[in-house]
Amino acid sequence: MTDFRARPTSHRYTGPAITLHWLIAILIAAGFWIGFVMTDIPGFTPTKLRYFSWHKWIGVTVFVLVIVRLLWRLTHRAPPLPYGMPMWQVGASHAVHFLLYLLMIAVPVSGYFYNSAAGIPVVYLGLVQLPMLIAKDTALRDVLKQVHITLDWVLLVTIGIHLLGVIKHLVIDRDGLLLRMLPSRR
C-alpha cells in the first residue's frame, strides 16, 4: 500500500493546478449564486433568461476546466500529504477529492442533458450552439431536472466537507496544508 504522507509539508501544487483550482472554485460559487437567484425570479423575464444563460455558460466552462485539471493531474503528481496524518484521514481526503471531481463533471452534464430533454439548446457564450444529444422528452426532462438539483446539493455538501477539512488543518493541525494550494507570495 502506498503511503501518501511525507515530510515536509512544504511541497506545493504547480501554478497551473493552483490557478485551475481557484478559477473552478470561483466559477462554482458564481454558478450556485446565479442558480439560487434565477430560480427565485418569477415568470420568464429577460433578466431571468440572461441568468439562465450565464448559469449554463458557467457550467460548460467548469466542465471544460475540470477536464483540463484532470489531464494536468494525470501528468503532475499531487504533493504528499503531511507526515503522520492518520490513514483514515488520507482515505477520507482521497474520497472527498474523487467525489468532488465526479460531481464537477456530473453536475454540468446533468444540466446539459436536462436542457436537451427540455428542447432548450445551450448556446455557449451566445456563440456556439452545443449539439442536442437527447430528444425533447417532458418526462425525461422532469427526471433530469431533479437529478441536476440533487447533484447540486450533493456537490454543495461535499464542498462543505472539503472546507471543514481545510479549516481543521488550518486551525487545529496547523500543518501548513493550505499553503500548498495558495498562490505563491514571491
pLDDT for the residue 134: 93
Each residue's pLDDT expressed in tens, for the chain with a length of 186 residues: 444 444 444 488 999 999 999 999 999 999 999 999 999 999 989 999 999 999 999 999 999 999 999 999 999 988 988 888 899 999 999 999 999 999 999 999 999 999 999 999 999 999 999 999 999 999 999 999 999 999 999 999 999 999 999 999 999 988 888 888 998 766
| pTM of this structure | 0.89
Helix H or strand E encompassing 1: none
Q: What angle do CA 44, 116, 114 make, to 5 degrees?
A: 75
Q: Does residue 3 belong to any structural domain of this protein?
A: no
Distance between CA 59 and CA 100 in Å, rounded?
15
Q: Residue 128: phi, psi to the nearest 5?
A: -120, 115
Q: Does residue 38 belong to any structural domain of this protein?
A: yes
Q: Does residue 4 belong to any structural domain of this protein?
A: no
Distance between CA 140 and CA 118 in Å, rounded?
8
pLDDT for the residue 6: 42
Residues 5-27: pLDDT tens digits?
A: 444 444 889 999 999 999 999 99
**How many helices (H) and strands (E) would you count in the chain?**
4, 4
Q: Does residue 78 belong to any structural domain of this protein?
A: yes
CB 54 within 8 A of CB 33: no
| Structural domain boundaries enclosing 29 | 9-181
Per the structure, the count of domains in the chain is 1
CB 169 within 8 A of CB 178: yes
Give exposure, 32-71, as e/b (b: 16+ Cβ within 10 Å).
bebbeebeeeeeeeeebeebbbbbbbbbbbbbebbeebee
Q: Does residue 1 belong to any structural domain of this protein?
A: no
What is the domain-level CATH number for residue 20?
1.20.950
Q: Does residue 186 belong to any structural domain of this protein?
A: no
